[in-house]
Structure 1
Amino acid sequence: MKNKKNFYIASFLLIAVGLWLVFKYRHYFNTYHTPVMITDRTLAEPVLGIYDRSGKLSGKSPENIRHFVLQLGSDIDQQEIRDKFFKEAGTHVLITVESGGDNVLARVADGDLDEMIESLCEAFPKENKNIYLRWNPEMEVPVQHYSWQYHAPHDYVEAFRHFSKICKKVSPAVNIVWGPAGYPGTEEYWPGADAVDIVSITVGSKSELLATAFPPEKNRITDIRRKIHRVRFMDKPLFILGSESVRDASGVKKQLAKAISETEREAATIYGTIGKLSPLKGPADTDRKLLVGVYDPKQLLLKSPQVHVEHIFIDLGNIQDGKFDEEFTAIMQRGHDAIVTVEPWRDKKIRKDTNVMLNTINGVYDPEFNEVFRIIAEAKHTVYVRFAHEMEIPIHRYAWQSQDPVLYIKAFRHFMSLQKVGTPNIKKVWGPAGDRGSMEWWPGQDVVDYVSIAIYGLPDKNITDPTKQESFETIYDRKIHRVLLTRKPMFVTEFGVKGPEDFQQKWMENAAKTIGKHQEIVGACYFNLADNPEVWGNIPAPDWGISKETFDHFVKTLSDR
């Protein structure tokens, strides 16, 4: 009886362990026992056009490129692949390789799929340079249409680089294609020039049709042009692909030609300002002493000896009525450096045009801007000038938001060009919020000394529970990745947290420790005031105000930096 009982227990344990192993390693069963699925997508997802500023693909015709989707599996028939793809001599083939399933990015990066990838690449003719291999595309779109979407950029980049390395080792002639949709935030997933030969974007991809993070672009020409703009940092030939949602291929080709023509017309602004950038190097290092500052209109923290810099926001009206001159003079008398955020709106003069970006470009506001530079040039302290901040957020809080990036870049460059030679105390600051797609508005290395971002605990304005706020570290890590391409020192010109004092103090302590770990941060300026109630609708505006005790604790924690 006892032996029978032991037998049942042992059997139960073996079954349980077996089920656990099947569940834990289910992706092996799902992947290693599935056939390779090949679908001809030449008509459904054609290569509509090629935009090649480098001339590397000169003479290549998009009409001659066949497009297949290959779902990677274990049963790779190399002869079938050769017959399918390379039966006709001289054929150009774009192969979109989809390797899905659970944990696919980690599995690829860890080498779990190396045998399959190697077997696939061994099927390619060794000297054929007309093979374009595109792996797990549309990765940046924040939906879950594919299993590799909605993952951290680092995870995708690591997996892509591994895939590229394996392919190049086995089949050196193959062209590796990095295939974002061209959605805002594309550059966050850039795996590096050494891992990519060609970039592709897609018009009307299914992933984008499902996405709601950004309002859809109503004008197809503008949509294509913006997609091209988003990959301007990648000095690679560009394939523009169609999709099933694009019914009129010939019409879209005309729109594509128009978009490319508009891009070429603005090439000096779009491409002449990007410089040599690399996301794989990490942020810029600086050994400069950290500046602690405040935006403190009620002057509750200004007298603290730890305050080195004051932040003020000025608009056209403040310049015109002399209020800016008065406030700035007071800052200088207190012996502080200054952050001056210039907001090109609230004009007291009647103008023919209300488009603030065009007015800036056309010199309409030059008298006001020249007055700003005249005043700050005479200062004995360093002045950080930040123009038209948080431009990338797709809302209408400010008149310069939801504008065309090229317009913004031109306006920013014009404003900064008004700084007179021989004014080394003036530092130029580019100030995105640090949201998705920030780099679309990058104005160029030559007109930026520092990059600033804003860090507020609320990830969503509808959250009223203070404990639901994200930590400073979480937000900073996300935002610094979005502007890594700049390789500029960072200035956190705005940050704040709401809630009871014990929560604020803990949050600020995390902020101090995070700042201490990041040598690229040259300054941090606390926003010591409630936010503007006009932009919060029926929800009470968050009060970012903190006590002197909390501020002092923050500074003390920073002292170990």
Structure 2
Amino acid sequence: MSFTDIDKSQTVKYSNSLKFSLLSILLGLSVWLLYVRYGKGPVLPDELKAGVANEILVAVYDMKHRIPENLPNHIRYLSMKWKDADSRLDTADLKEKLSKSGDLLLTIEIWPVKHKNPLDELLEGEYDAKIKLLARFVAGRNDVMLRFLPEMEVPVQLLPWQYQSPDKYINAFNYFAALLKKSAPGVKMVWSPAGYPGDSEFWPGPDHVDLISITVGGKSEKSSKAFPLDTGLTSTVLKSKIHRMRFMDKAILILAEGIKINPPEIAPMLKEVKNQADSFKNTIYSAEHFDKGSKQVISRKKLAIGVYDPRKILLKEPSVSTEHLFTDWGEIQRGDFSRNFHEVIKRRHDVIVTMEPWRDTTNVEDPFALQNTIKGKYDREIIKLYHIISNSGQQVYLRWAHEMEIPIHRYSWQSQSPVDYINSFRYFMKFKQEASQILSVWGPAGDRGSVDWYPGDDVVDYISIAIYGLPDKNITDEDKQESFGTVFQRKSYRMRFINKPFFITEFGVKGKEAYKKKWLEGAAETIRGHKEIFGICYFNLFDNPKVWGDIKAPDWSITKDTFIKFCRSVEQNDK
């Protein structure tokens, strides 16, 4: 064998040995990681970082001047990541970092390495020792602001505490705050949503929240596809996010992540936000126009049963007391609405009137319907409408520009500013005479963030939400439809800041008649058990095929027999 052959042989042996060693190391590392994640083996240490944070405080919004505006100039940052209830913590390092005086923004995150739910663990007391230790180090201080599990409301799964039920998050937040403040009452608890639609569902209440923070440019919001992304730090973005906090009387810390900040530009943006708040301080932003305290019990005496039934299949049923009419500017101008309305009155039925402010006799949609309504463009049509529906001898439920909160463009009043919508609602309803038999209905679909469009207690008599069994238009299997009760529970919870009765002006289910009967029986059970539902109206027709594209439009129609059976069931406790 030559020296060359020997060298080659040794090289091969060395290479094989190296490969074996690397494989052994990788295998051992994999076993160790699995042991850490799912077993009771060694745990990863907690992370503690000081200095410049990923999220930087850029401004303070506080109309009551409770927090100094120059806070961003001298704030310090500290973030903690708890890896597990029993993970190691360098207490000396933590104590040293928390001993420094001065305003401190402390962010607490929980990242369990053992694949557990951090909210469940927290509520089970697994983190009590860590909370108490933290409280001991910050006891006696009143310059610590603590953010707990931020951006919880964004519907993504970047953070372990996201995509959880609002109740669970709220309970966890209040549990943490109560335990911490037993020993450190001066710490200011910061409720820290991103400021994303639906954030108010996770509001823990005023008792344990001292401050609010919102984040512009956060990773969670950038990852979500649920709503159009507002990029950058602009006055429009700030207006939207701060508007969502109008039900909470707390100072707001504005954080930015991954955005280049030009400090001189921030003051003019905040001025625009404050100008908006000042302009509508007696209407949109008046605390008098939404419920803040204990809610008065609302309970119906008799359920109103209605139908939207253009084919007139169910109108003569004895249980029907109400009919639903949809109209627009063109129908009012041509006289079509007057004829349709008086036909209903002749049947001695009450009327739900849904005003769709988008088309006139030219049949051209007005893309600025809300703004033009406020400017008075449609005053003549509005006056004519009220003249028709006033003093009819029947109750009229007047609904304006429904399903406004859905971020699509089915209607020209969707994907608009909540402030414009609210002002248009209030403008439209001001034509109502006090002595008339007209009740105002605010009609969101009940989707995420719908309360952002709430016009105020002084101009709303009923809340209307839409309940259809179809959560996704691509679902063709009828068994995958949601129950009436499931949808009602989710959507009614979103109205937690509002103390008004419900009139469900649209609901329906598709599928075989046997399935519809079963679904409606469940609906009747829910309605019987919720006395805050004053009225219901079944949509007895198929939906508009143009909206569904290549997918067959759902047909919500039911037979007389199915409807009669439903009415008997739902009226059991109301007679």
TM-score normalised per structure 2 = 0.88
Question: Is contact 1:314–1:342 with CA below 8 Å preserved after alignment?
Answer: yes
Pick the aligned partner of 1:46 from 24, 35, 56: 56
- Of residues 83, 95, 105, the one that matches 2:106 is 95
Q: Deviations over 1:140-186 (max 9, x none)?
A: 00000101000111111111111111111121000000000000101
Residue 443 of structure 1 corresponds to which residue in structure 2?
Answer: 455
- Contact 2:330 / 2:360 at 8 angstroms: preserved in 1? yes
Partner of 2:339: 326
1:306 maps to 319
Residue 298 of structure 2 is aligned to residue 285 of structure 1:
yes
1:195 aligns with 2:195: no
Aligned to 2:376: 363
Task: Give the 5 Å matches for 1:39-438.
Answer: 39-40=49-50, 42-58=52-68, 61-72=71-82, 74-87=87-100, 89=101, 91-101=102-112, 102-124=116-138, 126-218=139-231, 220-243=234-257, 245-250=258-263, 253=266, 256-257=269-270, 259-268=272-281, 269-272=283-286, 275-278=289-292, 285-348=298-361, 354-423=367-436, 425-438=437-450
Query: What is the CA distance between 1:259 and its match in structure 2?
Result: 4.8
Question: 2:492 & 2:275 partners in 1: Cα distance?
Answer: 31
Query: What amino acid maps onto 2:334 in structure 1?
Result: D
Cα contact 1:284–1:488 (8 A) shared by 2: no
Contact 1:41–1:69 under 8 Å retained in 2: no
SS at match of 2:55: coil
Measured after TM superposition, the shift of residue 325 of structure 1 is: 1.1
Alpha-carbon distance, 1:413 to partner: 0.4
C-alpha contact (below 8 Å) 1:273/1:443 kept by paired residues:
no
* Residue matched to 2:499: 487
Q: 1:25 to 1:109 in 2, by over 3 A?
A: farther
SS at match of 2:398: strand
Partner of 2:12 in structure 1?
none
Q: What is the deviation of 1:234?
A: 0.8
Tell me the equivalent position of 2:3.
none
Q: 2:148 and 2:526 mapped to 1: Cα distance?
A: 35
Residue identity matched to 1:95: L
Q: Distance in 2 between matches of 1:67 and 1:456?
A: 47
CA contact (8 A) 1:78 1:120 kept: no
Corresponding residue SS for 1:84: helix
**Structure 1 residue 214, shift from structure 2 partner:** 0.6
Residue deviations 1:242-293 (CA, integer Å, cap 9, x gap): 11x2123537635743553453454424412663534x96795223311111
> Percent of aligned pairs with the same residue?
45
Match in the other structure for 2:23: none
Whole-Å separation in 2 of the counterparts to 1:368 and 1:60:
51
Q: Residue 496 of structure 1 aligns to which amino acid in structure 2?
A: G
Query: Which residue of 551, 564, 571 corresponds with 1:539?
Result: 551
Q: What SS is found at the alignment partner of 1:57?
A: coil
Q: Distance in 1 between matches of 2:562 and 2:177?
A: 50
* Segment of structure 1 superposing worse, 172-181 or 516-525: 516-525
Distance 1:29 1:373, change over 3 A: farther
- Partner SS for 2:393: coil
In structure 1, give the amino acid aligned to 2:171.
Answer: E
Q: Tell me, in whole angstroms, the C-alpha distance in 2 between the residues paired with 1:547 and 1:393.
A: 31
Please tell me whether the aligned partners of residues 117 and 166 of structure 1 are also in contact (alpha carbons under 8 angstroms): yes
1:172-209 deviation per Cα after TM superposition (whole angstroms, max 9, x unaligned): 00000000000010101001011100000001001011
Matched with 2:488 is 476
Q: 1:282 to 1:518 in 2, by over 3 A?
A: farther
Cα displacement (A) at 1:430: 0.3
CA distance 1:483–1:52, shift in 2 (3 Å): same
Q: 1:43 offset after TM fit, Å?
A: 4.8
Give the TM-score, by structure 1 length: 0.90
Runs of at least 5 residues in structure 2 that lack an aligned partner in the other structure:
1-33
Looking at structure 2, the residues matched to 77 and 128 of structure 1 have their Cα atoms a distance apart, in angstroms, of 21
Once the two structures are TM-superposed, the CA of residue 36 in structure 1 deviates from its matched residue by 3.0
Q: Tell me whether 1:457 sits opposite 2:469 in the alignment.
A: yes
Q: 1:151 to 1:437 in 2, by over 3 A?
A: same
Give the CA deviation at 1:353. Answer: 7.2
CA contact (8 A) 1:186 1:437 kept: yes
Kept after mapping to 2: 8 A contact 1:282/1:484: no
Residue-pair matches, total: 533
Task: Give 1:530's match in structure 2, choosing from 534, 542, 554.
Answer: 542
Secondary structure at 1:529's aligned position in 2? coil
Alpha-carbon deviations, 1:220-256, whole Å to 9, x = none? 331221011111111000000111x212353763574
Aligned equivalents of 1:555 and 1:430: distance in 2?
A: 25
Q: 1:548 aligns with which of 543, 556, 560?
A: 560
> Which of these two proteins has the greater Rg computed from alpha carbons?
2
| SS class of match (2:158) | coil
Q: Structure 1 residue 466: deviation in Å? A: 1.6
Name the CA shift for 1:177/1:408 in 2 (closer, same or farther; >3 Å): same
Displacement after TM superposition at 1:57 (Å): 1.4
CA distance in 1, matches of 2:521, 2:307: 16
Determine the C-alpha separation between the residues in 2 that align with 1:274 and 1:39.
43
Q: Secondary structure at the match of 2:80?
A: strand
**What is the 5 A alignment of 1:15-30?**
29=40
Q: Contact (CA 8 Å) 2:59, 2:253: kept in 1 or not?
A: yes
Q: Partner of 1:8 in structure 2?
A: none
CA distance in structure 1 between the partners assigned to 2:51 and 2:413 by the alignment: 41
Of 34-43 and 488-497, the range deviating more from structure 2: 34-43
Return the letter of the residue paired with 1:213: A
State the match for 2:9 in structure 1: none
Once the two structures are superposed, residues 300-349 of structure 1 have per-residue CA deviations (whole angstroms, 9 ceiling, x without a partner) of 00000000111110100111111111111111111111111011111126
Q: For 2:447 and 2:244, how far apart are their aligned partners in 1?
A: 14
Q: Distance in 2 between matches of 1:318 and 1:218?
A: 40
The one-letter amino acid paired with 1:42 is V
Structure 1: segments with no counterpart, 5+ residues:
1-22
